[in-house]
Amino acid sequence: MMLCSLGVSELMKWLVISFLWIGGHCIAQKNRIQEINEVTITFNLDTFKSQNKWEALQANEIEALQANDAAGLIRKFTSTSIKSYGGIGGLKTVSSRGLGANHSKILADGFGINNIQNGQVNLGQIHSDNIIFIRSNSDGKSQFLQPISAQVAGSQFSLETFENNFGNDGLQFRLLGKQGSFNQWGSYGALKFTSEKFLFSTHGSFRRADGNYPFTLVNGNQTSEETRSNNDYLDYHFGLTSGIKTGKSVFRLGYMQKEFDQGLPGAVILYNNSADERITSRDQNLFGDHVFKGKKVSLRSFIKMNENNVTYTDPNYLNQNGGIDVSYRNQSLQVGIALENKLSKNLKLHLGVEEVISDLLVSDTTFARPKRYHNYAIVGMKYHFAKRLNLSIQLSEQFVNENNSAGKSAENKFKVNPYIAISTKEEGQRFGHEIWYRNSFRMPTFNELYYNNIGNIDLKPEEAHQINYGWSYSPRKTGKFQYYFRNNIYLNYVNHKIVAIPSKNLFTWSMQNVERANILGTDFKYGSKWKPTKYFKLNLDLNYSLQSARDVSRPDSPSYNNQIAYIPLHTGNIDLSLTYKNTGLRFSNYTNSLRYTLNENISANQVEGFWVSTLSTYYSLNLKNKNILTLRFTIKNLFNSQYAVIRSFIMPGRNYLIVLKYAFN
């Protein structure tokens, strides 16, 4: 199957026609009695009970946080750190357990979000208004709804959206408007109809902000009041989804388009905080899947086509052309199937394959013309011994074939990755223990291999050996007071770790290869719920993570046994929420310890730690006929801390957000 022989645009036209046909066919169906839970395409986890396995946020917690984007949600999970280069719309990537952003997989409604060009998913471009569930998972357990590429990744972050999930709620409507500091405006609307037989939804959103926030620039003993420039942001997206249930099968087909136009703020160096670089992009996605769930066999097959067009301009770049104006078109096609077979009461077998085909076309004739065929496969089993012991074993493989039509190609790669896990549950499900080992592997991206003056065609893939022991304790699950504890201790041995460091702006990076890195970490999480009366609720959630990520490449190196660049040693969250009837208050805190801009841990490379607090309050008014109106007011960076996650990329000070939401259920 070749992307170039059949363009993504042509495939999109064909599938849009199919989508409209399926939507009409679904609406024409007659209802008949069918068990709702017989087929499901969502995880439908009880978040509190599953906290011992995964970290997760449900819809009410997501709404209370009022995050600008997915990054504001993911940073609440343990052993994760967010690299953020600004406020709304700024580039944001995630690092989990000391591994790089490219070692994590981001999923939306069971479909991977890909960018083979640079490998990094910009969490700042993923809206949070439509997210109803998000979770983190690092243990590599097979979940057949996930693509194989996600199962073999170093970690996964899975989110579910309001518009792409089945239910039995009939007609539902969401309309949201927001206004905030720095001339920030946004809106989101969705209309969805679900029943026992079909799903049809349409949705759209819009965000804009000037982003010109004030800050204090410190240069030795001198300070000056400055304003962030070239930080404006504009985006919108819209989509359609159609689905049908028939027997034990579920079919979905959907289309989504996103467009972005934003300035790229440069690093604030001395008294120069200006920049003129801009980036515009259009991202189109067509996706479809089929889920079958029987008594013994469950399977999911899926297809996703993506076309991402990016234009980068810098009118003041000094070259013979009088600036830079380059366009990039990244296309990818994903197809896969995963199967789970219950061979006996205690034995389950799972297997799957996935193929990802990607290419990159650049208007710059000196750039490479790469095409990649990336194959994934997995086979595994899970055996349940008696009542307390579970054993999971699996093997996965990755084969990568690279072809550069404009020059030298990277070598083909083949890798087999093992995984083994043993877990126990004590009587009464109070204590749980788990120990696992897994090997993960990630390929260099097109930019890392081929980008002019930066790419290294001989760059080796990054490989991680991960070992983890975790325990959990849930002493009480009923009554007015519930709480749980969870702790993990992990050790990652990483070979050929690829580290990306931003240079003069957010589009040009410097690639570094750390031959060997050892990451020793632990995280602790406590959660409690107290409901003393019918109307009053109090929730407390706190977590702490320690990540000692050391460069152990060469004993004679000045960076030997030093903390790897931009990985904080300590991170933590403290969240307290109070609810009385239809009124709520949430006090959220997030902290990072100091980091270093380079692997050499000297004072000149140090970036100070920070503590940021957010206060949010809301009131919900229940109207007639299932109508709910909610008003929320949020103060972010409550104590006006001046801080930078990445050196010289100053973050916003105290700012405000007002949200008005109307929901018809």
DSSP string over 335-391? EEEEEEEE-SSSEEEEEEEEEEEEEEEESSTTS--EEEEEEEEEEEEEEEETTTEEE
Whether the per-residue pLDDT at 638 is higher than 90: the answer is yes
Tokens representing residue 267 in the block: 């690093």
Contact 162, 130 (CB under 8 A): yes
Q: What is the rounded average pLDDT for all residues in the chain?
A: 84
Q: Rounded to 10 degrees, what is the CA torsion of 597, 598, 601, 605?
A: -40
Distances (CA, A) of 211 to 127, 185, 263, 638, 658: 17, 11, 10, 18, 17
pLDDT at position 5 is 39
pLDDT digits (tens, 9 = 90+) for 505-562: 555 556 666 788 999 999 999 999 999 998 999 999 999 999 999 999 889 888 899 9
pLDDT at position 499 is 67
Question: Which residues are within 8 A (CB) of 201 and not within 5 positions of it... i.e. 6 or more apart?
Answer: 163, 164, 190, 191, 192, 193, 240, 241
Taking alpha carbons only, the member of 289, 316, 270 closest to residue 107 is 289
Overall average pLDDT of the 635-641 stretch: 94
The DSSP code for 557 is S
For the chain, the structural domain boundaries read 8-29+39-664
Whether the per-residue pLDDT at 16 is higher than 90: the answer is no
pLDDT at position 453 is 56
Overall average pLDDT of the 630-639 stretch: 95
Quickly count: other Cβ atoms within 10 Å of residue 578's Cβ. 14
pLDDT-above-70 percentage for the chain = 85
pLDDT at position 441 is 87
- Please give the angle made by the CA atoms of 354, 359 and 360, to the nearest 5 degrees: 145
**The one-letter amino acid at 589:** N
Taking alpha carbons only, the member of 621, 624, 625 closest to residue 661 is 621
pLDDT at position 359 is 93
Q: What span, in angstroms and rounded, lies between the C-alpha atoms of 191 and 203?
A: 6
- Determine the 3-state secondary structure of 295 from DSSP: coil
Least confident interval from 78-82, 285-289, 307-311, 494-498: 494-498
pLDDT at position 452 is 64
Q: What span, in angstroms and rounded, lies between the C-alpha atoms of 629 and 148?
A: 41
pLDDT digits (tens, 9 = 90+) for 330-373: 999 999 999 999 999 899 999 999 999 999 999 988 888 999 99
- Determine the 3-state secondary structure of 107 from DSSP: strand
Express the helix, strand and coil content of the chain in percent, nearest 5 each.
10, 55, 35
Query: b/e per residue, 444-455, with b = 16+ CB within 10 A?
Result: bbbbbbbbeeeb
Q: Rounded to 10 degrees, what is the CA torsion of 642, 647, 649, 654?
A: -10
Least confident interval from 41-45, 69-73, 98-102, 331-335: 41-45
pLDDT at position 235 is 93
Q: What span, in angstroms and rounded, lies between the C-alpha atoms of 641 and 637?
A: 6
pLDDT at position 343 is 93
Least confident interval from 21-30, 192-201, 445-454, 478-487: 21-30
Whether the per-residue pLDDT at 50 is higher than 50: the answer is no
pLDDT at position 4 is 42
Distances (CA, A) of 49 to 226, 433, 537: 48, 15, 18
The structural architecture, per CATH, of the domain 8-29+39-664 is Beta Barrel (2.40)
Overall average pLDDT of the 89-111 stretch: 86
- Determine the 3-state secondary structure of 149 from DSSP: helix
pLDDT-above-90 percentage for the chain = 50
Kindly tell me the burial class for residue 318, based on how many C-beta atoms sit within 10 Å of its own C-beta (0-12, 13-18, 19 or more): exposed
**The one-letter amino acid at 496:** H
The 3-class SS string of 494-548 reads EEEEEEEEECCCCCCEEEEEEEEEEEEEEEEEEEEEECCCCCEEEEEEEEEEEEE
Taking alpha carbons only, the member of 557, 511, 636 closest to residue 119 is 511
Q: What span, in angstroms and rounded, lies between the C-alpha atoms of 279 and 266?
A: 13
Overall average pLDDT of the 617-639 stretch: 92
pLDDT at position 333 is 95
pLDDT digits (tens, 9 = 90+) for 114-154: 777 777 788 988 989 999 999 988 765 657 678 999 988 88
End-to-end Cα, the chain, rounded Å:
43
